[in-house]
């Protein structure tokens, strides 16, 4: 998945609202051959955010779009509980970025934005196992780990663009995508960055998803 720069993010911010009159031909119950006018936000939901049911590390059932994404600023990454190479390192980088966002910008996890980590090994990662991972790394409020049926997890992974173009690499769960997706769902603003980035830079990228007026308020 290509890295999305701030310039790409700005371009998306301009282009996606213009897709507000996204036109979709489909089986909507209307006469054949008619066109349905759909907002850019609704178009993105239909194409990229499946409404599958997942399970949090606390055992709660949630719908991926309606409960996880809708109306929120979110940060999404992949992981699995037994990972000993990159997952713990990435988790610590994200925890540091959370602290930076709180201390320097006043953005509060669980209120102003939300972290979600999606396991790539749902067959193994039960809610209990994900809870152990969260506790081991001292993950606090505002960060939810998600598991679910393998087919549903796979659908979410591919729709979010976390699939590797090389099928051999893609099949190897230990080499899961090192990209992190972030965005402002109501405003259709989405970007991505490498998980190997410096936490200061990660915090800057995430804060870019916040509306300008929010940033001004938080700094005041």
Give residue-wise pLDDT tens across range 44-84: 999 999 999 999 999 999 999 999 999 999 999 999 999 98
Q: How far is CA 112 from CA 74, 82, 107, 199, 200, in A?
A: 9, 30, 6, 18, 18
Mean pLDDT on 152-175: 82
Checking if the pLDDT of 213 tops 70, the result is no
Checking if the pLDDT of 173 tops 60, the result is yes
Handedness of CA 205, 67, 215, 18 (dihedral sign): positive
CA distance 208 to 142: 18
101 CB neighbour count, 10 Å cutoff? 23
How much of the chain, in percent, has pLDDT values that exceed 90?
65
Beta bridge partners of 183: 74, 190
Express each pLDDT in 143-155 by its tens digit.
999 999 999 999 9
Q: How confident is the model at residue 31 (pLDDT cuts 50, 70, 90)?
A: low
- Average pLDDT over the chain, rounded to an integer: 83
| Architecture field, domain 6-25+32-219 | 3-Layer(aba) Sandwich (3.40)
pLDDT for 96: 97
Q: How confident is the model at residue 127 (pLDDT cuts 50, 70, 90)?
A: very high
Domain ranges (residues) in the chain: 6-25+32-219
Residue with the larger pLDDT of the pair 171 and 3: 171
Quote the pTM value. 0.80
User: What is the dihedral angle through the alpha carbons of 209, 117, 65, 156, rounded to the nearest 10 degrees?
Assistant: 110
pLDDT for 88: 92
Instruction: Please give the angle made by the CA atoms of 43, 112 and 57, to the nearest 5 degrees.
Output: 80
Mean pLDDT on 124-130: 97
Mean pLDDT on 23-44: 63
SS3 193: strand
Q: For the chain, how far is it from start to end, CA to CA, in angstroms?
A: 37
């Amino acid at each position: 998945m290509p890295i999305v720069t701030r310039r790409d993010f700005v371009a998306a911010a301009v282009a996606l609202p213009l897709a507000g009159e996204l036109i979709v031909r489909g089986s909507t119950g209307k006469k054949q051959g008619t066109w349905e006018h759909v907002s850019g936000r609704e178009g993105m939901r239909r194409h990229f955010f499946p409404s599958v049911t997942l399970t949090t590390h606390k055992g709660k059932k949630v719908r991926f779009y309606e409960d996880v994404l809708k109306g929120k600023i979110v940060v999404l990454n992949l992981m699995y509980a037994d990972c000993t190479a990159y997952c713990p390192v990435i988790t610590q980088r994200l925890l540091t970025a959370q602290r930076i966002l709180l201390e320097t910008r006043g953005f509060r996890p669980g209120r102003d934005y939300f972290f979600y980590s999606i396991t790539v090994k749902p067959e193994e990662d039960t809610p209990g196992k994900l809870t152990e991972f969260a506790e081991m790394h001292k993950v606090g409020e505002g960060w939810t780990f998600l598991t679910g049926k393998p087919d549903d997890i796979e659908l979410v992974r591919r729709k979010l663009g976390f699939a590797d173009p090389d099928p051999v690499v893609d099949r190897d769960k230990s080499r899961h995508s090192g990209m992190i997706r972030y965005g402002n769902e109501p405003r259709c603003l989405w970007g991505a960055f490498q998980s190997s980035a410096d936490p200061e830079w990660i915090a800057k990228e995430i804060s870019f998803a916040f509306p300008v007026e929010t940033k001004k308020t938080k700094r005041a």
